[in-house]
Structure 1
Amino acid sequence: MTQAAEADPQKVIGTRIADLRTRSGMTLDQLAQLTGFSKSYLSKIENSHKVPPIGSLSRIAAALKTDMSALLHSPAQGASRGLSVVRASERRPVVRGGTAFGYDYQSLAGDLPGKKMDPFLFTFPSEIDKYVFFEHEGEEFMYVLKGRVEWQAGGQKLVLETGDSIYFDARLPHRGRSIHGEAIAIVVTYSPQAKD
């Protein structure tokens, strides 16, 4: 992988997905069938023309029989003896605003093999596509660090203030946006490990 690709997390994700898929002997058609995404959408992700949200990354990782950390972190950032430390100065954005969904998020955990949770620092956009909701296997926990978040999950609309938290089944269609100004939250996703 080139240093330029390594420097741009959005390109790194697509490259890692393509590498893992080809190393496992899986075709794009097979990945599409396993994830429920179109072959065209997956091709755009692999070629860094689209950046998938966390729910999509979770589904892709499960289909590739790995966890999200394999898509988000290089092996050089690997953890040893069951411990992973990510210093603030080492934290890199996973997805930056300006993507189709407008969310910015940074991974707060390194490449700990077999981990079941993925914590992220989310910055919510104020404008969202009124038709787009996310859903995936697993569970999510969110704690609002700053601002106010309008959160929708399972047909309910809630306003979460600084210090509020929510825990929910990630299969419920969900999304969030900043109500006014900057809104930042810690979001922890739990995804069941894909089994052989």
Structure 2
Amino acid sequence: MSKNLDALPRLKLEQYLGMQIRRQRQAQELKIADVARIAGISQGMLSKIENAQVSTSLDTLSRLCDVLGMPMSKLFGQYDQQGGGALLVQAGGGMEVVRRGTEKGHTYHLLNHTRGPKKNFEAYMVSMDDASEEFPTFSHPGTEFLYLIEGELIYRHGDKLYPMHVGDSLTFEGEVPHGPEKLVQVPVRLLSIMNYGKD
């Protein structure tokens, strides 16, 4: 039985700044004594800053950034994003969303999220349980990947039909009209990943 892990505690600002300064200094292979001397602070003070043992002034941080050739904006820039690198969706989870076909018995659970104004991909768990329904067709930019987890169906892409069994996958261009043609064995569950690429 798996055990849920709590999220690691967020770095305090002093820890984050110290880590960034140390990484930048080491990346340039600069000695702590040289950076401290040029910035006009003691070697001991720089060591304490890098190890988050003291809070320091913006003036001192500005001087350190000048020595390291790093803009202040870069020093602070990613602090608010440090918790956004990964998203775990546990079994049965995912935000239920409304898409075309939802009212006809399709259930879509969005399994991912993307920061920023542009999304590179979307991943859905799609569930269908009514073998008698008529299915809408879809068309969208990018490439789509389907992986059948449960059931059996015939999937249409353009004028071609593809029988799919558990474990089968199908990859196709999303701009060509596509969608389920017939549910052979219900319930059907499939993973749908839409890759929009980059401009």
- Give the TM-score, by structure 2 length: 0.50
Matched, 1:186 2:177: no
Give the AA of the match of 1:155. D
Give the AA of the match of 1:185. L
Residue in 1 aligned with 2:111?
108
Deviations 1:142-167 (A, max 9, x none): 00001102100021111100000000
Given the alignment, which residue of 151, 168, 172 partners 1:147?
151
Q: Is the 8 A contact 2:114 2:120 kept in 1?
A: no
Given the alignment, which residue of 166, 179, 184 partners 1:175?
179
- 1:137 is paired with a residue whose SS is coil
- 1:83 is paired with a residue whose SS is coil
Residue in 1 aligned with 2:98?
95
Matched, 1:126 2:126: no
Tell me how far 1:186 sits from its aligned partner: 0.5
Residue in 2 aligned with 1:156?
160
Q: What is the percent sequence identity of the aligned residues?
A: 22
Q: Is the 8 A contact 1:151 1:159 kept in 2?
A: yes
Tell me how far 1:190 sits from its aligned partner: 1.2
| Residue 90 to residue 133, structure 1, CA distance change in 2 (3 Å) | closer
Greater relative contact order structure (CA < 8 Å, 6+ sep): 1
- 2:186 is paired with a residue whose SS is coil
Number of residues of Structure 1 aligned to a counterpart in Structure 2 = 116
> Structure 2 stretches of 5 or more lacking a match?
1-80
| Residue 148 to residue 190, structure 1, CA distance change in 2 (3 Å) | same
Q: Is the 8 A contact 2:108 2:126 kept in 1?
A: yes
> Structure 1 stretches of 5 or more lacking a match?
1-77
Give the AA of the match of 1:179. V
Quote the Cα distance in structure 2 between the aligned partners of 1:165 and 1:106: 19
Tell me how far 1:179 sits from its aligned partner: 1.4
Residue in 1 aligned with 2:72?
none
The higher radius of gyration belongs to 2
Give the AA of the match of 1:145. I
Quote the Cα distance in structure 1 between the aligned partners of 2:112 and 2:171: 19
| Residue 90 to residue 158, structure 1, CA distance change in 2 (3 Å) | closer
Residue in 1 aligned with 2:170?
166
Superposition RMSD on alpha carbons, in Å? 2.9
Tell me how far 1:100 sits from its aligned partner: 4.0
Tell me how far 1:102 sits from its aligned partner: 3.2
Structure with the higher fraction of residues in strand conformation: 2
Given the alignment, which residue of 130, 137, 142 partners 2:141?
137
Quote the Cα distance in structure 1 between the aligned partners of 2:179 and 2:101: 17
Regions of 4+ moved over 6 Å: none
Q: Is the 8 A contact 2:102 2:108 kept in 1?
A: no
- 1:120 is paired with a residue whose SS is strand
